[in-house]
Amino acid sequence: MTAEASFDDFLKIDIRAGRVVRAEPFPEARKPSIKLWIDFGPEIGERQSAAQITVHYTPRGLIGRQVLAVVNFPPRRIAGFKSEVLVLGVSDTQDAVVLIAPDRPVPQGGRLH
C-alpha cells in the first residue's frame, strides 16, 4: 500500500528541469552509476548527481539531455562524490531506470507544476 501524502507535502518537493552538461562513468559506486553535472539555470546553477541509469544510458549520450530532478533534498555522499539532486526516473519491466524528461524543450530551472 502506498503511504498517503497531502497536497502540502507535494508542494514541499522542488522538482526542476535541467540540462546535463557533463557526464562520466562512476566505477567507484557500489551499484553501476553515472556522475552527472546538470545546469538548472541562473536561479539554481549547476548541481551534480550520481544516478543508477547505466542500463539505458551512456555518459556521452546524456550530454545535452533535459531531465527532471528534486533539487531541495539534502546532499548525499556516494563513494566520495557529492550528489546534490535526485534525478527522476521510472523502472521498466526489467527494473532498469528510464529517465523522466519534458517532451518539449523547457527553460532550465523550470519548476514542475
- Count of CB atoms situated within 10 Å of the CB of 36: 28
Report the candidate in 57, 78, 67 with the shortest Cα–Cα distance to residue 19: 67
Report the candidate in 55, 56, 51, 21 with the shortest Cα–Cα distance to residue 33: 51
Instruction: Give percent of the chain above pLDDT 90.
Output: 96
Average pLDDT over all residues of the chain: 96
Please state the pTM of the whole predicted model. Answer: 0.94
> What is the DSSP pairing of strand 89-91 with strand 97-99?
antiparallel
Judge whether residue 106 has pLDDT over 90. yes
Domain boundaries, the chain: 9-99
CATH pick for 9-99 out of 3.40.50.920, 1.10.443.10, 3.10.150.10, 2.40.50.140: 2.40.50.140
Q: Which three cell numbers stand for residue 44?
A: 539554481
pLDDT tens by residue, 36-82: 999 999 999 999 999 999 999 999 999 999 999 999 999 999 999 99
